[in-house]
Structure 1
Amino acid sequence: MPDGWGRWIRCGAGWYRILARLEERLRTIDPDYRVHQIKEKFGTLRFYWTGRNYAVGKTAVADAETESARTCEVCGSPGCLRTRRGWLRTLCDDCANTEGYEHLPDDDE
């Protein structure tokens, strides 16, 4: 992670590789971009930033947020959306079992 990002990051280490790739992409689009907040919300990554070429950069951000929806926030393995008492997280089977999360019910259930 880039120096100084620690104060902005409020998500699990399993998404750090996604953030590192996003940082590389944004840095090529605008070397002076600024991060305002990085967090988990409703089980997926949220990345708030400003900079030049925002239209191009927002595609990179959307790609990272989409990738987080299939990546365990804890360990980085493939995962899916899980629930526990109304809270949502994207987790692999092992991390979900450890933390007491269950598969999100299908719409037909």
Structure 2
Amino acid sequence: MARHSGAGMTDDRFAILRSVRLDGPGRRLTLSEIISGDTPLPDLAELAQAAAAAWAGSWSVASTELRPAVPYPFDEEPLDAEAARALGGRIRRRLDAAAVIGGEEIAGCPAGWLRLLAAALDGLVRLSDADASAHAIRVAQVKEKFGTGRLYLRAEGTAQLRAEVQRVARWFEIGTHDRCALTGAPGVLRTGGWALTLSDAAEALRRRDREQFRRRIYPLARS
């Protein structure tokens, strides 16, 4: 069962798919919606709770999930330091040309999320180009937090523009949930010490050679 939020923009590359799974007697049901705009709808989790209470038998909400509606491809090959710096330079030049402030903040992005970040910031530039009211768009910070990515953005302009800017930030964060921070391959959250989303190979490197791991994960870090 699915519903759409927004003005029919389901092909929007920054749309988010939200799913709630309900478990019942001998059955499993998933409610989902594509969030592609700022049109408010009743909270899907609340609808699922109401459905579980109303249906016959013992139903419960088992899980919720957010992911990009149009998945961004995982990296087939990890970025080496030279390729990462070249990509970082292209991102900076694109932001500078669009008068987006704060391009230097991309240095806080782990190597495995750089391509995803480039796609997100390309969307930010397109917003700036398309909206005449846009001004003072700023990349405030890019970082890893609790094992996944954060893209903090600021913008002045219309309420719709500000909402779209924050949607780009949310898309980036959700896209890092299952993406290795070192290689860009599929990964899972590894806890204990420094929590990070990593592939098996990246986790093995971290355990084997922490110094090399730290050098590789932040190729754009200021020296």
3-state SS in 2 of match to 1:94: helix
Provide TM-score, normalisation by structure 1: 0.80
Backbone CA RMSD of aligned residues: 1.7
Give 1:13-92 correspondences, 5 Å limit.
13-31=111-129, 32=135, 33-51=137-155, 52=157, 53-85=161-193, 87-92=194-199
3-state SS in 1 of match to 2:179: coil
3-state SS in 2 of match to 1:9: helix
Stretch of structure 1 that moved more, 46-55 or 1-10: 1-10
Shift of 1:46: 0.8
Stretch of structure 1 that moved more, 47-56 or 33-42: 47-56
Stretch of structure 1 that moved more, 20-29 or 4-13: 4-13
Q: Distance in 2 between matches of 1:21 and 1:34?
A: 16
1:2-48 Cα distance to aligned partner (Å, 9 max, x none): 22734443131110001000011111112452111100000111111
Q: Distance in 2 between matches of 1:38 and 1:69?
A: 15
3-state SS in 2 of match to 1:72: coil
Report the number of matched residues. 99
3-state SS in 1 of match to 2:170: helix
Decide whether the 8 Å contact of 2:149 with 2:176 is kept in 1. yes
Q: Percent identity over the alignment?
A: 33
Decide whether the 8 Å contact of 2:153 with 2:169 is kept in 1. no
3-state SS in 2 of match to 1:62: helix
Shift of 1:59: 1.3
| Structure 1, unpaired ranges of 5+ | 101-109
> 1:9: which partner in 2?
107
Instruction: Name the aligned partner's letter for residue 154 of structure 2.
Output: T
1:65-96 Cα distance to aligned partner (Å, 9 max, x none): 001111101011011100232x2101011001
Instruction: Name the aligned partner's letter for residue 199 of structure 2.
Output: C
Provide TM-score, normalisation by structure 2: 0.41
Q: Distance in 2 between matches of 1:22 and 1:98?
A: 28
Decide whether the 8 Å contact of 2:181 with 2:196 is kept in 1. yes
